[in-house]
């Protein structure tokens, strides 16, 4: 009999580290971390580094001594590589289910309902296909709801006897109870540190404790969302598979600088670059923005330095996706904010009041012919950058591919093995 109502959660083990090891086999078995922009914090760790007690998000400078002691390899993040590998693995996983929800760069839900009489074997075949075709290790959790599938994936990772695939639906009730009793409630999807502490105070410590809690009491004391989590742990589906990602309600583009900057011209160049990136994303989701927020920041960790962190929202007369119009508004905001005498460490823009482009209203004074020409210009801009690479063509500094002195530090970034002809991996056969 083929089971129905089955959701699988598939994710790549230590995704960024696994992508790096794929093209650097010499890193296998060695402690490896991948760092955030400007090599500031740990955003991915190998199992060897986890065993040394390095936490996710930890400032890397605090572990330099540990790195020297254990020969930890620290790499700058290489998001073009990770995004390309993500696209490949999501395309491959889509072949195993007619319904897929891509949840993040390294994980997706698949609807396994009615697909195979032995879902564990089916998932193992999927794992082997991913490993053989792409060289990336994945774990699979299978259950009747999304929340339970996330938990099953956690179990597949942490308990070796599952061999990287955990199907909770095949367990007898008593065995499932024993399993859930041994797992902290902190491992439930959506239950963070503060909520864990609050649940502990009322005697809820394990996943089973939360599953068996009174939903009405949970709703009254915490939230409707946590009540739904209780229902999902009981196998009652409250979260549908979302096959089409909802358009974002706002788009943010910001970066910390590789060094502090002091001049308006440099801030203007950075903001122009960030507006170009945000506007391209805006057009990708076929939206327009009704306002743009600009902000600049000094470094709050530099004690003794004067601090200044203002922001300013510029409303737009007509909602638009035009890079030139958005940038003009952003520069107006930036000029309102800028004051000399500060060491600026970060800038950013947020596109706000997003709406579908086909719903954008025109006023009596709209020059339809000029609007059409600008739309064609933006489409050409995006087409050139898709074909020849990011920032190949843009406005002002955004059209200059060379790195700026204030650009993000990427001191130890791996090559773009899959996205640049000049950096393709070379294989020698003997």
Q: Global pTM?
A: 0.74
What is residue 67's predicted lDDT score, i.e. its pLDDT? 92
What is residue 158's predicted lDDT score, i.e. its pLDDT? 93
Going by DSSP bridges, is the β-strand pair 165-167/138-143 parallel, antiparallel, or unpaired? parallel
Average pLDDT, the chain: 89
Instruction: Strands of 13-164 (E only): list them.
Output: 32-35, 42-45, 73-76, 100-104, 107-111, 138-143
Tell me the pLDDT band of 400, cut-offs 50, 70 and 90: low
Percent of the chain with pLDDT over 90: 62
Residue with the larger pLDDT of the pair 378 and 209: 209
Per-residue pLDDT tens for 297-341? 998 877 788 999 999 989 888 889 999 999 999 999 999 999 999
Percent of the chain with pLDDT over 70: 93
Contacts 24+ apart (CB under 8 A), 45-53: 45/14, 45/17, 46/14, 46/17, 47/14
Q: For 359-364, what is the mean pLDDT?
A: 69
What is residue 217's predicted lDDT score, i.e. its pLDDT? 94
What is residue 207's predicted lDDT score, i.e. its pLDDT? 97
What is residue 142's predicted lDDT score, i.e. its pLDDT? 97
Q: Is 207 exposed, middle or buried (0-12, 13-18, 19+ CB in 10 A)?
A: buried
Tell me the pLDDT band of 234, cut-offs 50, 70 and 90: very high
Residues composing the chain: 430
- The answer to whether residue 4 scores a pLDDT higher than 70 is no
Query: What CA–CA distance (Å, rounded) separates 184 from 312?
Result: 43
Query: What CA–CA distance (Å, rounded) separates 167 from 10?
Result: 12
- The answer to whether residue 410 scores a pLDDT higher than 80 is no
Tokens encoding 177: 């109870």
Q: For 402-413, what is the mean pLDDT?
A: 70
Residue with tokens 């330095």: 305
Tell me the pLDDT band of 100, cut-offs 50, 70 and 90: very high
Q: For 126-151, what is the mean pLDDT?
A: 96
Query: What CA–CA distance (Å, rounded) separates 18 from 137?
Result: 8
Tell me the pLDDT band of 361, cut-offs 50, 70 and 90: low
| DSSP calls for 261-319 | E--HHHHHHHHHHHHHHHHHHHHHTTEEEEEEEEEEEE-TTSTTS-----EEEEEEEEE
Q: For 81-97, what is the mean pLDDT?
A: 92
């Amino acid at each position: 009999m083929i089971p129905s109502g089955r959701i699988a959660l598939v994710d790549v083990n230590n995704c960024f580290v696994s992508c790096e090891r794929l093209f650097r086999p010499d890193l296998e078995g060695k402690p490896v971390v991948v760092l955030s922009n400007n090599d500031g914090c740990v955003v991915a760790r190998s199992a060897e580094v986890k065993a040394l007690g390095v936490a996710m998000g930890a400032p890397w400078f605090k572990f330099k001594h540990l790195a020297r002691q254990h020969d930890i390899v620290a790499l700058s993040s290489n998001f073009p590589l990770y995004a390309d590998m993500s696209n490949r693995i999501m395309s491959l996983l889509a072949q195993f289910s007619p319904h897929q929800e891509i949840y993040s760069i390294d994980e997706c839900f698949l609807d396994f309902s009615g697909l195979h009489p032995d879902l564990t074997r089916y998932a193992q075949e999927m794992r082997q296909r991913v490993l053989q075709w792409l060289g990336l290790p994945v774990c699979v959790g299978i259950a009747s709801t999304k929340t339970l599938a996330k938990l099953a994936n956690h179990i597949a990772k942490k308990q070796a006897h599952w061999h990287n695939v955990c199907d909770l639906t095949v367990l007898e009730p008593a065995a499932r109870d024993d399993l859930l009793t041994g797992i902290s409630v902190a491992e439930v999807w959506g239950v963070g540190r503060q909520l864990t502490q609050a649940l502990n105070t009322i005697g809820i410590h394990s996943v089973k404790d939360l599953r068996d809690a009174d939903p009405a009491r949970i709703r009254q004391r915490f939230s409707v969302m946590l009540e739904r989590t209780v229902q999902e742990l009981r196998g009652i589906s409250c979260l549908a598979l979302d096959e089409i990602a909802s358009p974002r309600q706002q788009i943010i583009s910001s970066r910390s600088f590789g060094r502090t900057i002091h001049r308006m011209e440099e801030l203007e160049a950075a903001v122009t670059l960030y507006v170009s990136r945000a506007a391209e994303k805006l057009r990708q989701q076929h939206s327009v923005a009704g306002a743009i927020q600009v902000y600049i920041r000094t470094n709050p960790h530099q004690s003794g330095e004067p601090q200044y962190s203002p922001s300013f929202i510029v409303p737009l007369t007509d909602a638009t996706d035009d890079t030139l119009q958005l940038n003009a508004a952003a520069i107006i905001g930036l000029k309102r904010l800028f004051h000399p005498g500060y060491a600026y460490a970060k800038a950013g823009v947020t596109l706000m009041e997003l709406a579908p482009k086909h719903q954008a209203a025109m006023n009596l004074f709209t020059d339809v012919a000029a609007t059409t020409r600008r739309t064609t210009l933006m489409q050409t801009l995006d087409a050139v950058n898709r074909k020849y690479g990011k920032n190949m063509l843009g406005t002002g500094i955004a059209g200059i591919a060379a790195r700026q002195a204030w650009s993000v530090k990427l001191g130890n970034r791996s090559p773009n093995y899959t996205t640049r002809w000049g950096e393709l991996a070379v294989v020698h056969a003997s």
